[in-house]
Amino acid sequence: MSTENEGTAVPPAPSAPPVPVESPAASPQATTHEAPTAPLPPVPPGAPEPEPAHAGQAPAYASAEAPGPAQGAGPGPGAWPPPQPPAVPSYMGGGGGGDTGTPWGAAYDQQPKPKSGRGGLFAAVLVAALVAGGLGGGLGYTLAKDNDDSTTSTTVSAAQQTGGDLKRDAGTVAGVAARALPSTVTIEAESSSGEGGTGTGFVFDTQGHIVTNNHVVAEAVDGGKLTATFPDGRKYDAEVVGHAQGYDVAVIKLKNAPSDLRPLTLGDSDKVAVGDSTIAIGAPFGLSNTVTTGIISAKNRPVASSDGSTNTKASYMSALQTDASINPGNSGGPLLDASGNVIGINSAIQSSSSGGLGTGQSGSIGLGFAIPINQAKYVARQLIKTGKPVYAKIGASVTLTDGTAGAQISQKSTDTTAPVESGGPAAAAGLKPGDVITKLDDHVIDSGPTLIGEIWTHKPGDKVQITYERAGKAKTVELTLGSRVGDN
């Protein structure tokens, strides 16, 4: 929503009050009528569900017909409102890999090194400054004129206007940001061929380990280059300690790490509630050390994301959803609660198709997704310890196509994998090909990607309740999750 006037121009303020012209009789005041403001067009009823991301061109909203100008009004700058943009693709799409389908969620690509985006940013700031200046001038003239018409005036000295020292409590956004920013870094990853981009990370321990997203550092894994820059300008070379493509978590380590590192405090993502305040830190579109705020708008949101390339597998998460503004470049940055504790790692966004700041990348529409920190903490510690991720599994393959009926165990074997692993947890619990899993513990399972995301919130060895349907009959069994080491 724009904060500028809709369809009505703001008249420029005069540089000085006009000199009044003496007249024997004052002319009557002209009655002014406020120009109607064009209402925002409602979302058309019965609009089709948005298409999954990476599934081709998204359908456009039905265009709303702009109302005509008011009777007697002067010509406007053009029809308002303008045509609606294309519909936002839904994060609830098909799965990636295995059976045919498309990855869920908009890919949260790392930000390429900007070339000419600074000019677009300057133009936006300039427009805002001009609008603010125009409004300020008009207001100043009005107050001066009213004051001239009065019989008395009051002069306030500069000393009386001094507000004194401004103290910000630790619990304010400014207080949280002041404590957290020194422990975040902007990461630049570059492949051996010179390709790469920008992301974010945060200090995990005093040994120099930095936690971020796998897709932020993926370009630098095989012979590439990594650097991490702190808000105070200190820049360090870094190396990848371990990365987990499925979880979309990675750990890097600073070379010649400083001795004054302050790890961010990790919260408990299981205790997060919808409506809790959130603070995100990152480098959206390369703009390092940016702080945005919002709330937790949903929990346990099943999301699968990828960069859209054919050789990249999807990452799955049961995500924290936030409306804090996060954009390409925020990837890997911390999502904080109101006390400054890390509750998640910003990882993916659902976005419109249009870019921002002169780039071709799409931006925030208030649907961001973060990996819960309880899961990310477990993964990071495994990567630091062994360099390889460990995944929980049930020992069965499920279809990844779109649907809402549940996660169906595949009925056909692949060249290397049977639908139900012999001797695995699912086989021991009596599950068979074609069974449809509808619940894991108390969580409803509507598709294969949802099941994978929920399984990966657990650790190998955890006991879970599986509810499934076979031949129209529901049954619940308990199984102990197995483990798989590595991404392959």
C-alpha of 235 from chain center:
26
Burial track 31-47 (b if 16+ CB lie within 10 A, e otherwise): eeeebeebeebeeeeee
Which helix (H) or strand (E) element contains residue 317?
strand 315-322
CA dist 300 and 319 (Å) reads 5
Can you say whether residue 267 is alpha, beta or left, with left for phi > 0 and alpha for psi between -120 and 50 degrees? beta
Q: What is the DSSP string of 79-122?
A: -SSPPPPBPPPBS----SSSSS---SS---PPBPPPSSHHHHHH
How far is the CA of 314 from the CAs of 3, 56, 98, 247, 372, in angstroms? 38, 18, 10, 9, 17
CB 87 within 8 A of CB 58: yes
**Structure-block tokens of residue 259:** 């001795």
CA dist 340 and 170 (Å) reads 9
How far is the CA of 338 from the CAs of 185, 240, 329, 363, in angstroms? 20, 31, 22, 24
**Radius of gyration for the chain, computed over Cα atoms and rounded to the nearest angstrom:** 28
Angle in degrees, CA 425, 429, 432, rounded to 5: 95
Query: Phi and psi for 183 in degrees, rounded to 5?
Result: -105, 15
Q: Which amino acids are annotated catalytic? A: 215, 248, 331
How close are the terminal C-alpha atoms of the chain, in Å?
Answer: 45
CA dist 385 and 2 (Å) reads 49
Q: Which of 109, 53, 92 has its CA nearest to residue 448? A: 92
CA dist 56 and 129 (Å) reads 39
**Structure-block tokens of residue 114:** 């900007």
